[in-house]
């Protein structure tokens, strides 16, 4: 995936969501290490949440995302989806 940008959007490809924790946070395999508090969005620019923690090596970390729940949004639909940092 690399550190690609979506032209004209200010979005940077972050990685792919791999799982949901028992506490309701999302785990994503990231391509780079974002700063804590970075806003995470999907490909339709909907806010998914913010980066809460980084785990593992800096070269290819796992990112914990604290989700922002929108009406009708289910976290299960996000597993396997690509996410972007804004």
* Domains, the chain, ordered by start: 5-68 (2.40.10.230)
pLDDT of residue 72: 64
Residue 59 confidence (pLDDT) = 83
Place of tokens 């924790």: 21
Looking at residue 9, what is its pLDDT? 66
Which pLDDT does position 86 carry in this prediction? 85
CA–CA separation, 68 and 53 (whole Å): 15
Total-model pTM: 0.84
Across the chain, which has 86 residues, the per-10-residue mean pLDDT values are 54 94 94 95 91 91 90 82 93
């Amino acid at each position: 995936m690399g550190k690609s940008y979506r032209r004209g959007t200010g979005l940077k490809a972050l990685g792919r969501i791999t799982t949901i924790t028992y506490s309701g946070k999302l785990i994503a395999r990231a391509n780079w290490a974002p700063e804590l508090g970075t806003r995470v969005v999907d490909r339709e620019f909907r806010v998914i949440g913010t980066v809460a923690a980084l785990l593992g090596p800096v070269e290819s970390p796992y990112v914990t995302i604290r989700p922002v729940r929108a009406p009708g949004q289910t976290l299960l639909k996000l597993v396997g989806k690509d996410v972007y940092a804004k």
